[in-house]
Structure 1
Amino acid sequence: MTSAGRPKIILGSKSATRKLIIEEMGWEAIIRTADIDEKAIGDRASDPAQLVLEIGTAKADALLPSLADAAARHGARLLLTGDQVVVHDGRVLEKPHDYAEVRRNIAAYALSPCRTVGSAVITELGAGGRRVSGVDTACIYFRPIPDSVVDELCKEEEILWCAGGLMIEHPLVEPYIERIEGTIDSVMGLSKPLVQRLLDELEGGKQ
């Protein structure tokens, strides 16, 4: 199907992997990003599922006032936002501050599994638009990753944009993944089954 024939959705994220995932589901993604201070939202010492829901909802609320023209121009009727954190040994890990943090995280992942916690928030555009949301998790077990591989990963700026410095889709990382409990798309930032369930929930609410 060409992009001209695909239904359109406004994706409130600049993540290339989320864009790829939603396009794999048959949508054309119209990218918009929210200007919010994520660090000021939620409680990092509490439930990570609640945290990512709060951030995903805040992104939607920040974007909605500016979307009327974009929705009309592109024919989109839905806004998809979300957030993801990595949880390891009870700590919530977000985007790394620097490559030193990336190195610490990767070394720690070989000692015990980490878990991704990701939200999806879908909002209908227009007056009285409904909103549905949910959270999906996945658990990743790593083998030790050699320093030489970590050195190569730290040459890529993109790793600083990944929660916990986690890039399971990277060819250098794949050989060191022992197993994943959950879906790869969930680890990459957007669970396809979760998004589909939320879309079905919206559609079912119209009946």
Structure 2
Amino acid sequence: MKEVVQASRRFVLASRSPARLVTLRAAGIEPEVIVSGVDENDVGDVSGAAEHALVLARRKAQAVSAQLEGESALVLGCDSVLEFGGEVLGKPGTVDEALKRWRRMRGGAGVLHTGHCVVQTDTGRMVEAAASTGVRFAELSDAEVEAYVATGEPLEVAGAFTIDGLGGAFVERVDGDHHNVVGVSLPLLRRLLGELGVFWPDLWNRPR
């Protein structure tokens, strides 16, 4: 059996999102998960959907970084929202809201924004940016909408859909980084870490 070489940097994901965790693991990164506990419904006055996502990502990263005072780690906070028809749509939370959204979204297009914020705890440095990806939804029947919502999947995800789960069949096209629709843009994250002087391969857990 090959020995696994552990990453040389401690990497913390300030999110309970299983999709983000799976995406990072597939990219060779095994993060430590610490949930921030930030209230996603209290954003305040922001200028647009991308800023909305970025504010929450920053708050998540800062909240977890505060718990790691005196320790050396990279903390990633992320948050996603869907911009559709001039509205900012987070998690629907209820069956009624998810049904209402899908009846509006089917056959239409929106933009999925994900805010990314990385805090380097030992230096206090912080870098952040938002990634945006266009999404075109299929023209679902009423029966498909009801069946999808009944699975419960859309209730606790931004925009009431996934691209890496049951909802993948209902996304006709994406314009931009598909990882961003899952919840974390790997190319953007690599660039942000580069600004902190972090070499991306140093985060990989890999067999030797």
TM-score category (smaller protein):
0.7 to 0.9
Q: Which residue of 2 aligns with 1:18?
A: 20
Q: What is the RMSD of the two structures over their aligned residues, measured on CA atoms?
A: 2.3
Is the contact between residue 140 and residue 177 of structure 1 (CA under 8 Å) also seen in structure 2? yes
SS at match of 1:52: helix
Partner of 1:152: 147
Question: 2 CA distance for matches of 1:3 and 1:41?
Answer: 41
Shift of 1:3: 6.2
The aligned counterpart of 1:100 is: 96
Identity of aligned residues (%): 26
Give yes or no for the alignment of 1:125 onto 2:101: no
**Secondary structure in structure 2 of the residue aligned to 1:39:** coil
The aligned residue for residue 57 of structure 1 is 58
- Which runs of 5 or more structure 2 residues have no equivalent in the other structure? 199-208
Relative contact order higher in (CA < 8 Å, ≥ 6 apart)? 2
Task: Map 1:110-121; keep pairs closer than 5 Å.
Answer: 110-121=106-117
Q: Is the 8 A contact 1:55 1:83 kept in 2?
A: yes
User: Structure 2 CA distance, aligned partners of 1:82 and 1:10?
Assistant: 12
Alpha-carbon offset, residue 119 of structure 1: 0.9
TM-score by length of 1: 0.85
Deviation at 1:2, TM superposition (A): 6.8
Amino acid at match of 1:137: S
Q: In the alignment, which residue of structure 1 is the partner of 2:201?
A: none
2: CA distance between counterparts of 1:42 and 1:50?
A: 11
Contact 2:84 2:111 in 1 (8 A): yes
TM-score (norm 2): 0.85
C-alpha contact 1:42 1:54 (8 A) present in aligned 2:
no
**Residue 181 (str. 1) matches residue 175 (str. 2):** yes
Alpha-carbon distance in 1 for matches of 2:45, 2:113: 14
Aligned to 1:170: 165
In the TM superposition, residue 181 of structure 1 has moved relative to its aligned partner by 0.4
Deviation at 1:151, TM superposition (A): 2.8
How many aligned positions are there? 197
